[in-house]
Amino acid sequence: MTVPERLISAATELFAAKGFDRVAVQEIVDRAGVTKGAMYHYFGSKDDLLHEIYGSVLRMQTERLEKIAAGDGPVVERLHAAASDVIVTSIDNFDQAKVYFRSADHLAEDKRLAMRSERRRYHERFRALVEEGQAAGVFRADVPADVTVHYYFGAVHHLATWYSPDGVLSAEDVGRHYADLLVGSLRP
Amino acid sequence: MTVPERLISAATELFAAKGFDRVAVQEIVDRAGVTKGAMYHYFGSKDDLLHEIYGSVLRMQTERLEKIAAGDGPVVERLHAAASDVIVTSIDNFDQAKVYFRSADHLAEDKRLAMRSERRRYHERFRALVEEGQAAGVFRADVPADVTVHYYFGAVHHLATWYSPDGVLSAEDVGRHYADLLVGSLRP
DNA sequence: GTTCTAAGCAACCGCTTAGTATGTCGTTTT
DNA sequence: AAAACGACATACTAAGCGGTTGCTTAGAAC
For domain B1-44, give its CATH number from 1.10.10.60, 1.10.1530.10, 2.40.50.100, 3.40.50.720. Answer: 1.10.10.60
Question: How many beta-carbon pairs under 8 angstroms link A with B?
Answer: 94
Tens of pLDDT, residue by residue over B19-31, are: 999 999 999 999 9
Q: How far apart are CA A154 and CA A36, in angstroms?
A: 36
- Tens-binned pLDDT, residue by residue, of chain B (188 aa): 899 999 999 999 999 999 999 999 999 999 999 999 999 999 999 999 999 999 999 999 999 999 999 999 999 999 999 999 999 999 999 999 999 998 888 888 888 888 999 999 999 999 999 999 999 999 999 999 999 999 999 999 999 999 999 999 999 999 999 999 999 999 99
Would you report the helix, strand and coil content of chain B in percent, each value rounded to 5? 80, 0, 20
Angstrom distances, CA of residue A8 to CA of A73, B163, B173: 38, 32, 42
Is the separation of the CB atoms in B157 and A158 below 8 Å?
A: yes
Residues 1-40 of chain A within 7 A of strand D, judged by CB, are 23-26, 36-37, 40
Please judge whether B143 and A180 are an interchain contact, meaning their C-beta atoms are less than 8 angstroms apart.
yes
Which residues of A lie closer than 8 Å to B, measured between beta carbons? 19, 21-22, 104-106, 140, 142-144, 147-148, 150-159, 161-163, 169, 174, 177-178, 180-182, 184-187
In sequence order, the 6+-apart residues with CB closer than 8 A to the CB of A101 are: A90, A156, A157, A159, A160
Write out the residue limits of the CATH 1.10.357.10 domain(s) in chain A.
Answer: 53-185
Write out the residue limits of the CATH 1.10.357.10 domain(s) in chain B.
Answer: 54-185
Please judge whether B151 and A185 are an interchain contact, meaning their C-beta atoms are less than 8 angstroms apart.
no
Nucleotides of C under 7 A from a protein CB: 7-12, 16-23
Domain A53-185 coded CATH 1.20.1630.10:
no
The three-class DSSP label of residue B47 is: helix
Measured between CA atoms, the residue of chain B closest to residue A123 is B162
Tens of pLDDT, residue by residue over A55-71, are: 999 999 999 999 999 99
Is the separation of the CB atoms in A75 and A138 below 8 Å?
A: yes
Q: Is the dihedral of CA B173, B177, B179, B183 positive or negative?
A: positive
For residue A20, give how far its alpha carbon lies from the nearest alpha carbon of chain B (Å): 10
Q: Which fold has domain B54-185?
A: Tetracycline Repressor; domain 2 (1.10.357)
Q: Beta-strand (E) ranges in chain B?
A: none
